[in-house]
Amino acid sequence: MAENKNFLAGRQASLIERSKVTPKIKVGKHELTFQPDELDEFYKNKARTELREIPEVVDTSLRELREYIRGEPGLVVPEEEEYLIKFLRPCKWYAKSAFELMKRFYKYRLSHPRICEGLVPSKEKAIFISGILTPLPLRCNSGERILLLESGRKWKPKEISLEQIFKGVMLALEAAMAEPTTQVAGVRVILDMDGLSLSQVTYFTPSFASAVLEWVQKCLPCRLKGVHIVNQPYIFNMVFAIFKPFFQEKLRKRLHFHGSDRASLLSFIDAKALPTQYGGQLELPSEPLGERLWEYFCTYEEDFQASQKYGYVSST
């Protein structure tokens, strides 16, 4: 029917079923797993109090968002509630704001095809194997997902480009965006810059900084609760100077420079969820997770492929 030209079938039900049969990643005494299941009472209450998530608001916002999408030429997305909620929750259920976020998210794909086109786990094995990117198995007490990026000693620029690191972050956060608990509680990123060298600094450019911060600040449908920079050497100031002109006030307030101050980091991230090398209690295995992490993401390959079909399409 003509009125449904903007909508495709969704995949949340298949994600839930796949997550039930996909072996979890053993991380020391804990397990890392994708969590697409519905909210429990803790998160339902959090959604009510922080996001205005009550039945009458939900019903009105879903209806309004669908109407906005129907009126947007060339925008094709799933109609299922679970998909639309990914954009509504970060915007506290304001449909117009969610619609504008959705448009920016998909227009970014059009304007940055080298980064976004065909972005699926199977093509990005190198960043997973490198060990630079690690989603941690435990959440903060308030529910945030934690993503660890070790962009100092583990980063070999001649083997892994900054663009590849960015792609890995995109894949990890796209997976997180499909988790209702993460939609409600948000994400914290730990950026470990230990071992950053002057030769690595030369790879950062204003164009890269602009592309990253445009996506993070304007396009990412996720509650980014904090970026925690640890173990940064003095030369990190050179990197920050490249990014600084592109920071908006909201993200600037969520940047935290901890250096080697573990107590400062622990004031934001609970000890149980924080690796021991940062003053926490979470023991990470000495053997690399990279291969297993990549294989785990690849089990959801067809879901990432499906998401590549969403967005603005040609009228031809």
CATH number of the domain to which 291 belongs: 3.40.525.10
**Average confidence score pLDDT of the chain:** 94
Q: How confident is the model at residue 2 (pLDDT cuts 50, 70, 90)?
A: very low
Q: Do 89 and 130 fall within a single domain?
A: no
Q: Residue range 247-269: average pLDDT?
A: 98
Could you tell me if 49 and 177 lie in one domain?
A: no
- For the whole prediction, is pTM greater than 0.75? yes
Strands 7-8 and 75-78: parallel
Does residue 30 sit in the same domain as residue 110? yes
- Give the residue from 225, 234, 124, 112 showing the smallest Cα distance to 169: 124
Same domain, 211 and 157: yes
- Residues 224 and 216: beta-carbon distance below 8 Å: yes
Shared-domain flag, residues 143 and 228:
yes
**Contacts by 247-255 with C-beta closer than 8 Å and gap 24+?**
247/213, 247/217, 248/213, 248/217, 250/217, 251/213, 251/216, 251/217, 251/224, 251/227, 254/224, 254/225, 254/226, 254/227, 255/226, 255/227, 255/229
- Considering the domain architecture, whether residues 305 and 209 belong to the same structural domain is answered as no
- pLDDT exceeds cutoff 70 at 41: yes
Residues 102 and 174 in one domain: no
Same domain, 82 and 151: no
Could you give the dihedral angle defined by the CA atoms of residues 79, 52, 39 and 256, in that order, rounded to the nearest 10 degrees?
A: 110
Question: What's the number of domains the chain is made of?
Answer: 2
Shared domain for 149 and 199, answered yes or no, is yes
CB 282 within 8 A of CB 254: no
Contact 131, 174 (CB under 8 A): no
Q: How far apart are CA 279 and CA 271, in angstroms?
A: 7
Query: Looking at per-residue confidence, does 108 or 8 come out higher?
Result: 108
d(CA 303, CA 153): 33
CA dihedral 225, 231, 237, 239 (to 10 degrees): -70
Structural domain range at position 23: 2-116+301-312
- Mean pLDDT in residue range 196-206: 98
Averaged pLDDT, 60-75: 97
- Residue 3's pLDDT band (cuts 50, 70, 90): very low
162 phi/psi in degrees, rounded to 5: -60, -35
Residue owning tokens 């990279």: 290
> Which residue, among 178, 181, 184, 190, has the nearest Cα to 262 in the 3D structure?
190
Model confidence at 129: pLDDT above 50: yes
- A 10 A CB-CB count for 29 gives 9
Same domain, 100 and 159: no
Q: Are residues 259 and 131 in the same domain?
A: yes
Are residues 138 and 98 both part of a single domain? no
Find the mean pLDDT for residues 130-159: 97
